[in-house]
């Protein structure tokens, strides 16, 4: 009987005891978000997209569009980080597909940033750290132009923080003329308009010639060195190296 009473008392005491508190999980997500916001404020990425801070030195980014991989040129003539939100950038620029030149404006919104280790290091390029950024964008062509449409898509980029500022680690030459891609910004987009509602797939990048073989079917051919496949000549790739200032405003004639 005494043993039975002791068992009853033990069960009652166990039931009355408060449940053990599990250790609180660290607020990893909050800490990561705070770290990202700090990096967004620290790094102004505008010069990387503008490629050159001086308007007169703006350079184009190459890309391809549609199932035939037609050549596309893009230039961001102005890039400005928003004064209140460091993840938003206001962009103005122009695109060219053959003889069709279209002005556009819109925004690039960053969604993530983190420090990374590069897969390949260039011995003559010194960096304090390397970063990967993702984002989204919407660029609207001028409605005053016939056939104007909208580019929407995502951004993926890698860049380096150096003693001189932000920069892209350059591609590295390999044997037989092959190149290991460096850092850069890749914009994966769809374009559509009221007259052409079926979306057209487009990819352009600051280092497009480094990544073209991953986007276009057999872009480079040849066993030794890299030569552009002749089949792409008819869609604009026979003169990709030309850097004429097609984006510049036409000067008014002097009367």
* Chain segment 21-55, per-residue pLDDT in tens: 555 555 555 666 778 999 999 999 999 988 665 55
Per the domain annotation, does 166 fall within a domain?
Answer: yes
Give the number of other Cβ atoms within 10 Å of residue 186's Cβ.
Answer: 21
Per-residue confidence (pLDDT) for residue 71, from 0 to 100: 94
Q: What are the residues whose beta carbons fall under 8 Å from the beta carbon of 49, sequence distance 6 or more?
A: 76, 79, 89, 91, 108, 185, 206
Model confidence over 165-213: pLDDT tens digits? Answer: 999 998 876 654 556 778 999 999 999 999 999 999 999 999 998 888 8
Per the domain annotation, does 61 fall within a domain?
Answer: yes
Please name which of 133, 131, 74 lies closest in space to residue 106, comparing C-alpha atoms: 74
pTM above 0.75, yes or no: yes
Interval 80-88 mean pLDDT: 97
At 179, phi and psi to the nearest 5? Answer: -125, 140
Per-residue confidence (pLDDT) for residue 6, from 0 to 100: 55
Q: Is the pLDDT of residue 126 over 50?
A: yes
> Residue 166 is encoded by which pair of tokens?
């932000």
Per the domain annotation, does 242 fall within a domain?
Answer: no
Per-residue confidence (pLDDT) for residue 65, from 0 to 100: 96
> Residue 241 is encoded by which pair of tokens?
């190296």
Per the domain annotation, does 154 fall within a domain?
Answer: yes
Residue that has been written with the tokens 């984006």 in this structure:
247
Per-residue confidence (pLDDT) for residue 50, from 0 to 100: 81
Please name which of 97, 58, 62 lies closest in space to residue 79, comparing C-alpha atoms: 58
Q: Name the domain count of the chain.
A: 1
Per the domain annotation, does 10 fall within a domain?
Answer: no
Confidence class for position 4, pLDDT limits 50, 70, 90: very low
Per the domain annotation, does 103 fall within a domain?
Answer: yes
Per-residue confidence (pLDDT) for residue 22, from 0 to 100: 53
Per the domain annotation, does 44 fall within a domain?
Answer: no
Domain that residue 130 falls in: 57-235
Per-residue confidence (pLDDT) for residue 223, from 0 to 100: 65
Count how many Cα atoms sit within 13 Å of the Cα of residue 186 in the half-sphere of its side chain: 17
């Amino acid at each position: 009987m005494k043993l039975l009473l002791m068992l009853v008392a033990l069960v009652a005491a166990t039931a009355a005891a408060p449940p053990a508190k599990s250790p609180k999980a660290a607020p990893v997500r909050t800490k990561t978000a705070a770290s990202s916001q700090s990096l967004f404020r620290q790094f102004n990425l505008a010069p990387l997209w503008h490629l050159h801070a001086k308007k007169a030195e703006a350079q184009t980014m190459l890309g391809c569009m549609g199932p035939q991989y037609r050549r596309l040129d893009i230039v961001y003539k102005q890039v400005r980080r928003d004064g209140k939100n460091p993840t938003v950038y206001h962009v103005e620029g122009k695109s060219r597909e053959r003889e069709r030149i279209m002005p556009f404006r819109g925004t690039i919104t960053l969604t993530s940033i983190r420090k990374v280790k590069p897969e390949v290091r260039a011995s003559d390029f010194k960096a304090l750290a390397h970063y990967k950024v993702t984002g989204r964008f919407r660029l609207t062509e001028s409605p005053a132009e016939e056939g104007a449409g909208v580019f929407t898509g995502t951004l993926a980029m890698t860049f380096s923080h150096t003693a001189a500022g932000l920069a892209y680690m350059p591609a590295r030459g390999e044997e037989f003329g092959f190149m290991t891609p460096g850092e850069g910004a890749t914009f994966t987009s769809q374009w559509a308009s009221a007259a052409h509602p079926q979306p057209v797939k487009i990819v352009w990048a600051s280092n497009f010639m480094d990544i073209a073989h991953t986007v276009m079917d057999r872009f480079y051919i040849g066993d030794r060195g890299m030569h552009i496949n002749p089949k792409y000549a008819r869609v604009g790739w026979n003169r990709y190296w030309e850097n004429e200032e097609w984006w510049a405003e036409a000067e008014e004639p002097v009367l």
